[in-house]
């Protein structure tokens, strides 16, 4: 009998504006920079421009490949903010970070007007938790600008998503949703080389849903596009290790290790150095393994 575990390690080349990112020997690290007062992990920690720039430079020094800036919290129960408030938080920081670091910048927003301003200021990835459903102008903007886009699965909205999430088969349903959003993006003129997928850990998912998504993560890598994993410090990890948000590093590393073994292409994390080291070790081990293991018949 032959047992196989062969997630897709297709050598994707991702178009991010005028740059390209190539996935080689291991996943890319996307460092999180929230300029919000109420994000679940680091809300309020980087509200000033100086604080945000210092943290961005630290993440670059620690080996980040991308920095993801967000100015509207998407934690469970979060209240939406208007475009003016989001821009007033985001733009001073994004402008300063663009001058301070050389990494590609991602903007975490569902609003086309915010994304447009961010792209004009140098962002080259739009991380859209609504998967282009939140603003009818977003798909056209991404296509026109030639930037990359993250299409994420979410059941409900941040304000409602954890009230009573329900699935028949969470993996099948998330895969079907992502396939549909890929087709919607392509139909809007977005190139295949601009698309990143995200199954949306913690976004309208219960504990068992998150664990199932992670256990079968390799199925998402077979959809034909790079896949991002965002498990850093999340509640389902806290539930497993019984730790508050800032003490979930070891638990996060365990989840990251599984995701890397199952073919994750981008890791969205708060603790850049620790998770980069975790990914580097797991990737090295994975490259030295066999794609199939012969097991004697019983």
Task: Report the candidate in 195, 199, 149, 201 with the shortest Cα–Cα distance to residue 173.
Answer: 199
Cβ-proximal residues to 195 (8 Å cutoff; 6+ apart), any chain:
148, 149, 151, 182, 185, 186, 225, 226
- HSE-up (13 A, CA, CB side) for residue 187: 7
| Main-chain dihedrals φ then ψ at residue 123, nearest 5 degrees | -70, 145
Q: How many Cβ atoms from other residues are within 10 Å of residue 57's Cβ?
A: 14
User: Active-site residue numbers?
Assistant: 234, 268
Sign of CA dihedral 177, 252, 125, 128: positive
Buried b (16+ CB within 10 A) or exposed e, 175-205: bebbeebbeebeebebeeebbbbbbbbbbbb
């Amino acid at each position: 009998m032959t047992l196989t575990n062969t997630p897709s390690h297709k050598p994707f080349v991702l178009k991010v504006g005028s740059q390209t990112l190539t996935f080689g020997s291991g996943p890319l690290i996307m460092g999180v920079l929230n300029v919000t007062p109420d994000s679940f992990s680091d809300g309020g920690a980087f509200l000033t421009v100086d604080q945000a720039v210092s943290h961005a430079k630290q993440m670059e020094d620690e080996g980040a490949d991308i920095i993801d800036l967000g100015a509207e919290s998407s934690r469970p129960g979060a209240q939406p903010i208007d475009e003016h408030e989001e821009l007033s938080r985001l733009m001073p920081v994004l402008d300063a970070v663009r001058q301070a670091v050389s990494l590609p910048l991602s903007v975490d927003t569902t609003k086309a007007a915010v994304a447009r301003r961010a792209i004009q200021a140098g962002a080259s990835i739009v991380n859209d938790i609504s998967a282009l459903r939140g603003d009818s102008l977003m798909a056209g903007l991404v296509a026109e600008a030639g930037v990359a886009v993250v299409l994420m699965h979410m059941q409900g909205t941040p304000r409602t998503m954890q009230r009573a999430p329900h699935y028949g088969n969470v993996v099948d349903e998330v895969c079907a949703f992502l396939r549909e959003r890929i087709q919607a993006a392509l139909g809007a003129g977005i190139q295949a080389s601009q698309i990143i997928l995200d199954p949306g850990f913690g976004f309208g998912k219960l504990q068992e849903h998150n664990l199932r998504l992670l256990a079968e993560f390799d199925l998402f890598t077979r959809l034909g596009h790079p896949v991002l994993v965002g498990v850093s410090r999340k509640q389902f990890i806290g539930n497993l290790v019984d730790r508050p948000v800032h003490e979930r590093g070891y638990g996060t590393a365990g989840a990251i290790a599984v995701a890397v073994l199952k073919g994750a292409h981008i890791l969205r994390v708060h603790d850049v150095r620790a998770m980069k080291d975790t990914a580097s070790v797991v990737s090295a081990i994975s490259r030295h393994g066999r794609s199939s293991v012969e097991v004697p018949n019983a």
